[in-house]
Amino acid sequence: MYLEIKNIQWFFISLILLIVGAFIVIFDYPQIQFFDNLDDQSYYFLDEEKKNIHQRLKIEFSVGVVFVLSGLILSLISIFWNFKK
């Protein structure tokens, strides 16, 4: 038994989502860990711009995870479900 891709367009969209999400997650995770590993006193002395960057990185990382998950779900749907009826 082999899997057949039922809808090629949705499969390619899911691949794009997976690639973009993976790049976001891979490149943002070390930066978030840098800020998270700072002790409280060091984080307190950071200027507001760097604290805002840390918050934006957390949001961007969350969006990357959503892209990866939606790409996985969309690829599974494109393999098992035929949209053209």
Which are the contacts of 57, defined by CB distance < 8 A and separation ≥ 6?
28, 31, 32, 35
The predicted model scores a pTM of: 0.83
Q: Please tell me the total count of domains within the chain.
A: 1
Helix-helix angle 8-36:48-80, to 10 degrees = 150
Domain-located, residue 73: yes
Report yes or no on 29 lying in a domain: yes
Token pair 């490149």 is found at 27
- 32-85 tens-digit pLDDT: 999 999 898 888 888 999 999 999 999 999 999 999 999 999 998 888 876 555
pLDDT of residue 85: 52
In this prediction, residue 79 carries a pLDDT of 84
CA distances from 34 to 15, 20, 57 (A): 30, 22, 11
Looking up tokens 């961007």 gives: 60
In a domain, 85, yes or no: no
Give me the domain span that covers residue 54: 8-80
